Structure 1
């Protein structure tokens, strides 16, 4: 029981970190090319993971060829794909728009859990995913008499409708990449610790992004210190701390439960957008966040029910 609740806590903290990537990506996007920022992120994080492995005495896991391919796909989708696509999108859209779109992550992750992991989510998990989706819908469309998040964000800065649409599509693609990233490791047969998996994802992300980074056009102007600070934050908090928290948490709970906890991403993104970027949050957004928190409660309750049933079956 305690392990399950620790899993919820770890995954929750990790998803708050993912929400912060929406805001920090806005700070990075206009200062660094996407692959360059991605390569710098992992160039900072990877040595830290290597040092942690040496200090703890952990060794590289012996993986089958199929598992190596699976981890490569996971690194390509989440470590590189999510970061690059999100940075591309944040050049064209606002953090609040991106936060709303990121709210679709529970649905994407739940579909991955069912399709790739062949899990059967319980009724409360399904209700939680539905409630989280409703929260995103409320944030996007708004409630009668109040502006939706997209409308509020759109009033902050003039931008073309086509550019905004393209930016939003980049963010949608990023969410799909993250949906695969957060759950594919559950298909591994070989036991891999959270630290080992985090190191592999970081090293894979660096290997996959460094060549495109050298091929990108770079500005001859002065270095953007704000963008570099954003990359350092991205490397240390959502990457080093976030990877460890997520992989430690997802080992303790089922994929469907973990997927629904990703509903916390838009809450984190919207709150940080308001504090850091001074974007407004209206009544629709508060309603949406209430739906998200209710979804998390349903998922936690469903997880507890499943654990009790499993324990009762083992006792028999």
Structure 2
């Protein structure tokens, strides 16, 4: 249980980093270039992780990396940006908050991970909390934006569970997905957006943060957490994303929370709490067995087993 709780904390780094991404993107990154923005986010982060891992895909992992890169990075980044342009941020975020349910369904079908009542209750509480926290309403609903959000939700949930099914997470496999997703976007960026945008110093610093923290680090710990926790629980941890965005607005932009938002925050935190491991009876280790020496069991792996 101790390892499970530790991995819950490690996995939480990802949605918290993604929550800060809203502020950085809005304040420092050039507007009107979603495809180039996704390329600048994915490719440098992927190349950096590849330099650290020093391992290329082998065998089936060439096409698997392409599939996962499209679902989890390339198409996902573009669809999310499109949804944010066509819908109020609150509505787009509320649709994405259904991830605990969609990930649980895909995990049930692909991994035989049957969701527990506690996890499903936590997912319902979390979604209700996000609705109250962000104030999603029926105004200014664009069907195209809803379709883009739903597609992003479905693709990423499927991609995350598929990554869990196909192999042990590693720095190398994360780098392959980021590079594949970035490369796929380049021809579309050239076709629809023309020349790349000019980047001033704040934009360069912003992309450095987005690439290093909100992409390279975030996706590495996210996929690592997926290998050690159930997909439904990881989806619940992902609700920290909108919570971080709202709290950052309070701390940095001077936003003020109303009572409805405090209730929403409490419901989201309750939902996440229901995903935490429960304490069970302590069991003594078998005599003669000692913990393995070397890397601790919670360290991020760099190698990937591709012996399929």
- When normalised by structure 2's length, the TM-score is 0.78
- Specify whether residues 273 and 97 from structure 1 end up closer, same or farther in structure 2 by C-alpha distance, changes over 3 A only: farther
Question: Aligned residue for 2:193?
Answer: 217
Give yes or no for the alignment of 1:237 onto 2:213: yes
What is the aligned-residue RMSD (CA, Å)?
3.3
1:72-87 mapped onto 2 (5 Å cutoff): 72-87=66-81
Deviation at 1:224, TM superposition (A): 6.1
Deviation at 1:229, TM superposition (A): 4.1
| CA-to-aligned-CA distance 1:256-279 (integer Å, 9 cap, x gap) | 222221222221222234445555
Deviation at 1:173, TM superposition (A): 3.1
| CA-to-aligned-CA distance 1:54-84 (integer Å, 9 cap, x gap) | 3xxxx335343xx554432221112112211
CA distance in 1, matches of 2:24, 2:50: 25
Question: Aligned residue for 1:62?
Answer: 58
CA contact (8 A) 1:31 1:224 kept: no
Question: Aligned residue for 2:12?
Answer: 12
| Aligned residue pair count | 285
Question: Which of residues 225, 230, 243 in structure 2 aligns to 1:254?
Answer: 230
Structure 1 unpaired stretches of 5+: 141-148, 155-159, 312-316
| CA-to-aligned-CA distance 1:239-267 (integer Å, 9 cap, x gap) | 11101211222222122222221222221
Deviation at 1:280, TM superposition (A): 4.7
Question: Which of residues 161, 164, 167 in structure 1 aligns to 2:140?
Answer: 161
CA distance in 2, matches of 1:193, 1:99: 27
Question: Aligned residue for 2:44?
Answer: 44
Deviation at 1:106, TM superposition (A): 1.7
Question: Which of residues 240, 243, 254 in structure 2 aligns to 1:267?
Answer: 243
Question: Which of residues 148, 170, 182 in structure 2 aligns to 1:206?
Answer: 182
1:180-191 mapped onto 2 (5 Å cutoff): 180-188=158-166, 191=167
Give yes or no for the alignment of 1:286 onto 2:262: yes
- Specify whether residues 275 and 121 from structure 1 end up closer, same or farther in structure 2 by C-alpha distance, changes over 3 A only: same
Deviation at 1:168, TM superposition (A): 5.1
Q: Which structure has the highest helix share of the two?
A: 1
CA distance in 2, matches of 1:221, 1:61: 32
Deviation at 1:222, TM superposition (A): 5.6
CA distance in 1, matches of 2:204, 2:144: 25
Deviation at 1:39, TM superposition (A): 1.1
Most deviating of 223-232 and 245-254: 223-232
CA distance in 1, matches of 2:104, 2:206: 30
Question: Aligned residue for 1:99?
Answer: 93
CA distance in 2, matches of 1:266, 1:33: 23
CA contact (8 A) 1:198 1:243 kept: yes
Deviation at 1:104, TM superposition (A): 2.0
Deviation at 1:12, TM superposition (A): 1.0
CA contact (8 A) 1:99 1:269 kept: no
Question: Which of residues 62, 71, 76 in structure 1 aligns to 2:65?
Answer: 71
Deviation at 1:210, TM superposition (A): 1.5
Question: Aligned residue for 2:303?
Answer: none
CA contact (8 A) 2:50 2:172 kept: no
